[in-house]
Amino acid sequence: MKPMFKSAALQDDTAAGPQTVQDDRILIMANPTSGGYRPSVLDEVRKRLSAGGKDVCLRLTRHAGEIGEVCADPSFDAGVLVIAGGDGSINEALAGLQFRKAPPKIAVIPSGTANVLALELKLPKKAKAIADAILEGRTQPLHAGLANDHPFVLMASAGFDAEVVHGIPLALKRRLGKLAYVLTAIKIGLSRQTSNLQLTVDGNVLHGKLAVATNGRLYGGPFEVAPEASVTREGLQLLVLEKDDPLSSMRFGLALLLGRVHRARGVRLVPFQEAVFGSDRPVAVQIDGDPFGVTPVTVRSSTGHLEIIVPH
Ligand SMILES: Nc1ncnc2c1ncn2[C@@H]1O[C@H](COP(=O)(O)OP(=O)(O)OP(=O)(O)O)[C@@H](O)[C@H]1O
């Protein structure tokens, strides 16, 4: 069996870093390029944590990948890692932490174009509430799925939505936020060539045009796609859309906004352990809102978890 998130994070003998972490040491890693970046909130959280007796270090990233590098560094010993950013930054932290012997608790200062994890866990946005939660230290387990053994916290998908994630110009995303996704979806939707996905799901074969392996309940914002799923519980669900012609895509889009996409005609939702996403030609894949190459991709549920700080 392949290493799972838990075994990789907590039981791997080759894991890097000290056996313990310094509980009072807090590292805030902030992505200043994330959508809705809020330096004033960062500053206030830092001051409140320092006033609460914590040894706080704030580090602004200078390049993509830096959060993962810091998390994987053997000298990392903070007891709490606070990510100020969006879902992509949180994903980087998970990937970097997965091989540690003693991972820190995770906390989030939500920003990002659509911080779905913050919505899933109802994480606070105001500095006082964020700092209070970190000082109290109440946690819930944060489970992850694996795409080609790379952790994802929200979803891994192949098809039209991933094409949009691959195709969205960064400058447009920074300028227009969520609207940039809609405009890019319309542009790509008018010219794209559809592909057929073959999904081998725990040994059974399903066919579809778009497949989303979701670790949580929500997708793309506050939109419910898998009512039974939760990032705080082990297990993944697979949402398969059988069609992606413009009319069907509009119908599914509307159902998504209404929180009913899992019940729409032409949509299946199944719990699974392992799914291999194959296709008749390479199809774009995304995890947690960032590009992740093309099919084929193998998506697995994992048994391990990190601890994420949540409010009372
Ligand atoms: N200093 C930086 N410069 C450029 N890219 C960065 C920097 N720091 C982090 N990144 C990258 O930016 C990507 C997106 O960041 P993040 O998720 O925080 O914001 P977002 O894209 O606005 O939010 P969301 O993912 O919720 O839509 C991350 O995957 C990360 O690799």
Per-residue pLDDT of 122-131, as tens digits, reads: 999 999 999 9
Residue 250's region, left for phi above 0, alpha for psi from -120 to 50, else beta, is alpha
- Phi, psi angle pair for 27, to nearest 5°: -110, 120
The pLDDT score that the predictor gives to residue 17 is 58
For domain 150-302, the CATH architecture is Sandwich (2.60)
> CATH 3.40.50.10330 residue ranges in the chain?
5-145
244 lines ligand 1 (CB under 6 A): no
Q: What is the DSSP string of 5-51?
A: HHIIIII-TT-BS-SS-EEEEEEEEE-TTSTT--HHHHHHHHHHHHH
If we measure between CA atoms, which residue out of 298, 4, 3, 286 comes closest to residue 144?
A: 4
- Phi, psi angle pair for 33, to nearest 5°: -95, 0
Judge whether residue 178 has pLDDT over 90.
no
Which residue among 28, 34, 116 has the greatest number of ligand 1 atoms within 8 angstroms of its CB, and so is best to mutate? 34
Is residue 82 packed enough to be buried (19+ CB in 10 Å), middle (13-18) or exposed (0-12)? Answer: buried
Task: Express each pLDDT in 274-300 by its tens digit.
Answer: 999 999 999 999 999 999 999 999 999
Q: What is the mean pLDDT of residues 53-60?
A: 96
Whether 51 contacts 102, CB under 8 Å: no
Q: What is the mean pLDDT of residues 251-277?
A: 95
Judge whether residue 54 has pLDDT over 70.
yes
Rounded to an integer, what distance in angstroms lies between the CA atom of residue 14 and that of residue 8?
A: 9
Distance from the alpha carbon of residue 266 to the mean position of ligand 1, in angstroms: 34
Is residue 151 packed enough to be buried (19+ CB in 10 Å), middle (13-18) or exposed (0-12)? Answer: buried
Task: Express each pLDDT in 92-107 by its tens digit.
Answer: 999 999 988 889 999 9
Distance from the alpha carbon of residue 182 to the mean position of ligand 1, in angstroms: 19
Q: What is the mean pLDDT of residues 35-50?
A: 94
If we measure between CA atoms, which residue out of 209, 163, 156, 146 comes closest to residue 3?
A: 146
Per-residue confidence at 5, pLDDT binned at 50, 70, 90?
Answer: low
Judge whether residue 136 has pLDDT over 80.
yes
Distance from the alpha carbon of residue 94 to the mean position of ligand 1, in angstroms: 14
33 lines ligand 1 (CB under 6 A): yes
286 lines ligand 1 (CB under 6 A): no
69 lines ligand 1 (CB under 6 A): no
Q: What is the mean pLDDT of residues 117-137?
A: 96
Judge whether residue 192 has pLDDT over 60.
yes
Report in angstroms the alpha-carbon separations of 119 from 86, 174, 199, 233: 11, 20, 29, 16
Judge whether residue 310 has pLDDT over 90.
yes
Q: What is the mean pLDDT of residues 62-74?
A: 95
Judge whether residue 174 has pLDDT over 50.
yes
Closest residue to atom 19 of ligand 1, CA basis: 34
Closest residue to atom 13 of ligand 1, CA basis: 88
Is residue 226 packed enough to be buried (19+ CB in 10 Å), middle (13-18) or exposed (0-12)? Answer: buried
If we measure between CA atoms, which residue out of 4, 310, 264, 312 comes closest to residue 141?
A: 310
Q: What is the mean pLDDT of residues 23-40?
A: 92
> CATH 2.60.200.40 residue ranges in the chain?
150-302
249 lines ligand 1 (CB under 6 A): no
Judge whether residue 4 has pLDDT over 70.
no
If we measure between CA atoms, which residue out of 308, 125, 126 comes closest to residue 230?
A: 308
The correct answer on CATH 3.30.200.20 for the domain covering 5-145 is no
Rounded to an integer, what distance in angstroms lies between the CA atom of residue 148 and that of residue 142?
A: 19
The pLDDT score that the predictor gives to residue 15 is 53
Which residue among 28, 29, 31 has the greatest number of ligand 1 atoms within 8 angstroms of its CB, and so is best to mutate? 31
61 lines ligand 1 (CB under 6 A): yes
The pLDDT score that the predictor gives to residue 170 is 87
Rounded to an integer, what distance in angstroms lies between the CA atom of residue 168 and that of residue 219?
A: 18
208 lines ligand 1 (CB under 6 A): no
Indicate the pairing of strand 267-272 with strand 236-241: antiparallel
Q: How far is CA 164 from the centre of its chain?
A: 17
Report the chain's mean pLDDT, rounded to a whole number. Answer: 91
Q: How far is CA 207 from the centre of its chain?
A: 25
Task: Express each pLDDT in 217-249 by its tens digit.
Answer: 999 999 999 999 999 999 999 999 999 988 898
Neighbours of 64 (CB within 10 A): 13
Judge whether residue 13 has pLDDT over 70.
no
pTM for this structure? 0.90
110 lines ligand 1 (CB under 6 A): no
170 lines ligand 1 (CB under 6 A): no
The pLDDT score that the predictor gives to residue 48 is 98
Distance from the alpha carbon of residue 44 to the mean position of ligand 1, in angstroms: 22
Judge whether residue 14 has pLDDT over 60.
no
